[in-house]
Amino acid sequence: MTSRRPDIMLSTILLVVSALWCWGVVATIPGAEDGSRLGARGFPLGLGLLLGGLSLVILLQSLRPGAAETASDEAAAADVSRGVEIWSIATTVGLLVGYAALLEYTGFLIATALVVAAAVGPVLGIWRPKLIIGMSVGLSLGIYLVFGKMLGVYLPYGKFVNLAF
């Protein structure tokens, strides 16, 4: 297994990103007005170009004949089936995004209890009612009491419904 293909992909994506970035910088950030000849634009633009340049180095390295010798794929990667990996990425992102949305509309207590229950039951597949209820109620109430009430951390307040006491 060689790293040529992933590296070509990586550097191509990074090149596109840096090109888009530079375009965005030039199109939206005004040039120097603070007398520094550099202004708000200089730094992001320079960094965008740097990123592009570095990606180009990777691209050239991986296109060079015999490039496969100098690098090898991450050992751990080989034995993870793509399906499991995509599942885990999707679940993690899904849970967190869902949590953020629930927090905004249903407030801390409801959102936390729901997300914990969803994570333990459907996602991890542990269908033990005691564990599910214990963890969801325990975590939401515990954090609410310790951080919200005792330490005074401001916890999200639901826009549509909100449980509080």
Contact 41, 31 (CB under 8 A): yes
Tell which positions 31-50 bind other proteins, by CB under 8 A: 33-40, 42-44, 47-48, 50
Q: How far is the CB of 12 from other proteins (least distance, A)?
A: 11
Contacts of 60 (CB under 8 A, 6+ apart): none
Q: Is residue 16 a contact point for other proteins (CB under 8 A)?
A: no
Residues in the chain: 165
Which listed residue (16, 26, 63, 77) binds other proteins by CB under 8 A? 77
Which listed residue (26, 74, 122, 127) binds other proteins by CB under 8 A? 74
Q: Is residue 12 a contact point for other proteins (CB under 8 A)?
A: no
Binding-site size for other proteins (CB under 8 A) equals: 87
Q: How far is the CB of 121 from other proteins (least distance, A)?
A: 11
**Nearest one of 165, 164, 149, 161 to 104, comparing CA atoms:** 161
Give the Cα separation of 148 and 34 in Å (integer): 44
Q: Is residue 147 a contact point for other proteins (CB under 8 A)?
A: yes
Tell which positions 54-73 bind other proteins, by CB under 8 A: 54-55, 57-58, 61, 68-72
**Nearest one of 47, 70, 73, 63 to 12, comparing CA atoms:** 63
Residues 105-144: x/- map of binding to other proteins (CB under 8 A)?
---xx--x--xx--xx--xx-----xx-xxx-xxx-xxx-
Structure tokens at 92: 């993690």
Q: How far is the CB of 59 from other proteins (least distance, A)?
A: 11
Q: Which helix (H) or strand (E) holds 118?
A: helix 82-118
Contact 54, 13 (CB under 8 A): no
